[in-house]
């Protein structure tokens, strides 16, 4: 749930608003960020409806471009401060624990234009100032903080595959942006620990979308493709966040290819000293790869995907609307990987769910009968339970999402919510999955 309407008062400060203003056709059916769930006005009733759906913990974001007026000095907009204070207080009043994220693809357009966003190390300092301002303003009530949501998507969308602004295709630049995001996260964590101490009840982490890379076969070339895919897609953010350094193999490959990020000893020490307290994992689909048909040694621009080709598993189960394979066992594999290779850090599933279009076709007696969503969640929870039984230190599960939400350039193409939202009338009602999730939440038992 994102609070878009206030942006009408602060025009075009946010990169997605700017992008929509110059190219609305890039957005699904031309639906931009000014058409959303109206949470800004409806948050009191929306939160009560979410609590009715069994939501006890809610992850949402504070938007950099909304909260801060002067990005260099980190001065705040009082209307935004009041709004976030009201939302947090209302959550606590309704018995909902806030989990607050600081960057969900959010880049102020001013910083994108002036510095190139996270292409600039200066912007990592400005981000840390913004983060510290959030800790100062809301840290008395918010105990769970997260520096970034899905930083890999910032690279994929903005610097590799042109599905998010600034729509660049530049592999070496993506490497640097990824490094700078990790640096920004470490700087924010340093501010957090300076303010609260390392042993406080307040915890800080990062939200990563993990997509385990499975090789098409056990042939050497397929295994090598999967190894690099895992290094690039998962470990490039997991290792700095938890271990405080990059995977040695990834550094060796990027150095050999002449695309290694620019860094200083002081920055690498900062990464080492400022690791996360807990990890959030977003999971939707596996990542299946095979050896590339064209050798990465060929004369070509460097891109991370020159080391693999995508592989489609015959007979796979699909969410056809989204184009994603459904493979719940990957959640078990993630749990075991965290247990065995990342110190069994405290973690939770921060997103998992099923996006489906044309859900009104499943309406009966005024309620969307989304048994497919119930089955999706059930099957993933079963695999997660196996991972917990095997000793993985997972402490929770968040479904994506509470209310059907506007999703970046995809707008409302797919609906994910436990609660349906008619964006024309803003009438919101529980789906069958919302009633089911309430029972699951109340009993903490999956039949």
d(CA 106, CA 340): 33
Domain range for residue 362?
A: 5-443
d(CA 340, CA 349): 17
pLDDT at 423: 86
SS3 label, residue 55: coil
Bridge partners of residue 363, in order along the sequence: 368
Letter string b/e over residues 225-261, b meaning 16 or more CB atoms within 10 A of that residue's CB = bbbbbbbbbbbbbbbbbbbbebbeebeebbeeeebbb
> Number of structural domains, the chain?
1
d(CA 434, CA 447): 16
pLDDT at 1: 38
Catalytic residues: 150, 351
Is residue 284 within 8 Å of residue 259, measured between CB atoms? Answer: no
d(CA 271, CA 184): 9
pLDDT at 339 over 80: yes
Q: In what order do the strands lie in the sheet with 287-290?
A: 213-215, 287-290, 309-310
Q: What is the CATH number of the domain that holds 293?
A: 3.20.20.80
Mean pLDDT of 245-267: 98
pLDDT at 11: 55
Q: How many CB atoms lie within 10 A of CB 342?
A: 17
pLDDT at 92: 98
pTM reported for the whole predicted model: 0.95
pLDDT tens per residue across span 375-429? 999 999 999 999 999 999 999 999 999 999 998 889 899 999 999 999 889 999 9
d(CA 256, CA 252): 6
DSSP string, 168-218: ---HHHHHHHHHHHHHHHHHHHHHHHHHH-TTSS-EEEEEEE---EEESSS
Angle at 400 between CA 159 and CA 104, to 5 degrees: 35
pLDDT at 290: 98
pLDDT at 447 over 80: no
pLDDT at 33: 84
Mean pLDDT of 200-227: 97
SS3 label, residue 318: strand
Taking Cα atoms as reference points, which of 173, 154, 175 lies closest to residue 165?
Answer: 154
């Amino acid at each position: 749930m994102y609070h878009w309407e206030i942006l009408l008062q602060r025009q075009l400060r946010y990169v997605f608003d700017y992008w929509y203003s110059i190219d609305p056709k890039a957005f699904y059916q031309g639906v931009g960020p000014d058409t959303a769930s109206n949470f800004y006005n409806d948050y009191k009733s929306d939160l009560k409806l979410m609590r009715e759906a069994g939501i006890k913990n809610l992850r949402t974001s504070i938007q950099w471009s909304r909260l801060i007026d002067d990005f260099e000095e980190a001065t705040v907009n009082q209307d935004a401060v009041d709004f976030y204070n009201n939302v947090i207080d209302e959550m606590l009043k309704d018995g909902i624990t806030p989990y607050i994220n600081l960057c969900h693809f959010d880049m102020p357009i001013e910083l994108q234009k002036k510095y190139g966003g996270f292409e600039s190390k200066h912007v990592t300092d400005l981000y840390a100032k913004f983060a510290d301002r959030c800790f100062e303003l809301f840290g008395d009530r918010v105990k769970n903080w997260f520096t970034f949501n899905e930083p890999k998507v910032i690279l994929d969308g903005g610097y590799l595959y042109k599905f998010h602004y600034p729509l660049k295709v530049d592999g070496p630049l993506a490497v640097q942006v990824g490094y700078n995001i990790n640096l920004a996260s470490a700087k924010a964590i340093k501010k957090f620990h300076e303010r609260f101490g390392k042993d406080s009840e307040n915890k800080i982490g990062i939200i990563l979308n993990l997509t385990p890379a499975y090789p098409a076969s056990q042939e050497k070339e397929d295994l090598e493709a999967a190894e690099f895919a895992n290094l690039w897609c998962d470990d490039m953010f997991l290792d700095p966040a938890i271990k405080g350094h990059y995977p040695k193999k990834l550094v060796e490959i990027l150095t050999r290819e002449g695309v290694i990020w620019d860094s200083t000893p002081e920055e690498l020490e900062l990464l080492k000293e400022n690791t996360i307290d807990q990890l959030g994992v977003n999971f939707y689909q596996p990542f299946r790869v095979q050896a590339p048909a064209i050798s990465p040694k060929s004369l070509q621009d460097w891109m991370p995907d020159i080391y693999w080709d995508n592989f489609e598993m015959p007979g796979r189960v699909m969410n056809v609307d989204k184009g994603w394979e459904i493979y719940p066992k990957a959640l078990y594999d993630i749990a075991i990987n965290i247990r065995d290779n990342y110190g069994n850090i405290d973690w939770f599933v921060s997103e998992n769910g099923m996006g489906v279009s044309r859900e009104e076709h499943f309406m009966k007696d005024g309620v969307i009968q989304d048994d497919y969503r119930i089955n999706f969640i059930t099957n993933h929870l079963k695999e997660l339970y196996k991972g917990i039984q095997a000793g993985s230190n997972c402490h929770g599960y968040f479904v994506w999402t509470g209310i059907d939400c506007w999703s970046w350039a995809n707008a409302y193409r797919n609906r994910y919510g436990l609660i349906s939202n008619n964006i024309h009338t803003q009438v919101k009602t529980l789906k069958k999955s919302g009633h089911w999730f309430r029972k699951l939440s109340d009993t903490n038992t999956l039949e």
